[in-house]
Structure formats: C-alpha cells, structure tokens
Amino acid sequence: MAHYDLDDVAIVEDKPPTYELSGSDTEEEIERVKQKQREQTKDRSEVYDKSTEEEEGGNGGEEKEKQLDFFKRKRFLVDEDVGAVDVIKLERYVELYKGSVTKSIAEADYVVTRTQKPLPASFKGELVKPLWVYECHDMECLIPTQRYKP
C-alpha cells in the first residue's frame, strides 16, 4: 500500500506483517488457542439461543387473557358494502376478542359499514366504520366510537 506525504513527493510502502511459524509451539500453546476459539464460537452461538419472547408468569397469562375479551357479549353485523377481504378480517377480530357475528340487524349491537344506512326504529346499536374494529384490535381495547361513525 502506498502512502503519500502532503506534498506528494515521498512514497512510503507498508508491507503487511508476516508471521513465521516455527515448530517451537508447545502442545500447551496449541491447546490454549483451540480452547479460546471454542469459547468464542460458543459465545457467538449463545446469542442465537436466547429467546426474544417475553416470558409470562402464571398471573401474566391470565391478565392478558382478561384484557382480550373487550367484545364479549357484543354482537356485530358486517354490512354487505364492506369488501370480502375486510369481512374476513373483521369477523376474525370480533371472534378473537370474544364477540359474535350475526346476520340479523335486530340482534346487532354494532353494524360495521362504510356508508350511512337507514335503520329500523327498533335498532338500539351503533353504526361504525371498519376502521373502528381495526383500531380496537391494534390498541387491544374497546375505544370510543364517536370518531368512527359513517
């Protein structure tokens, strides 16, 4: 490798260091080097053996399970104006959080729709956009519906 001084006048070449191997290495030195290499390999592999999942204690699992039933005793009707892919996701989320899906508007607590619909006078539930269910899922709790009216 060549190095130049500030005036580009002198050129200095560095040569890579050379190591001379002689037969003077003792068995102890060889064993010590091999042991060090094994330890380094072991240390590297331990990084991959560690779990990235949080460990849950006996109480932690029950507490998490209680939090994930925020749709419990709530019935949802997913309107036909919602796309097929969204229907699948919405129904999955409702059931995941212990809610139920119905086909009857009279039984529904929430009608998931993209547009404002005329509803029967007997309907006591709420109209909500699909985004409300998605955000409840993301936040893992029941959030207010005011901002999610169609």
Residues in the chain: 150
Q: 16-25, 93-102, 129-138: which range is least confident on average?
A: 16-25
- 67 or 132, which is more confident: 132
Residue 96's domain comprises: 67-148
| Inter-residue contact 141 to 70 (CB < 8 Å) | yes
User: What is the percent of the chain where pLDDT is above 90?
Assistant: 47
Tokens 């409840």 found at: 136
22-29 long-range Cβ contacts below 8 angstroms, 24+ apart: none
Q: pLDDT band for position 23 (50/70/90)? A: low
Confirm whether 125 is domain-assigned: yes
In the chain, which residue ranges form alpha helices assigned H by DSSP? 27-49, 58-67, 84-96, 130-139
Confirm whether 17 is domain-assigned: no
Structural domains in the chain (count): 1
Confirm whether 46 is domain-assigned: no
Confirm whether 96 is domain-assigned: yes
CATH of the domain at 113: 3.40.50.10190
Confirm whether 97 is domain-assigned: yes
Confirm whether 106 is domain-assigned: yes
Confirm whether 126 is domain-assigned: yes
130-139 and 84-96 helices, crossing angle to 10°: 40
| pLDDT tops 60 at residue 104 | yes
Stretch 78-97: mean pLDDT: 94
Nearest to 33 by CA among 41, 49, 117, 2: 41
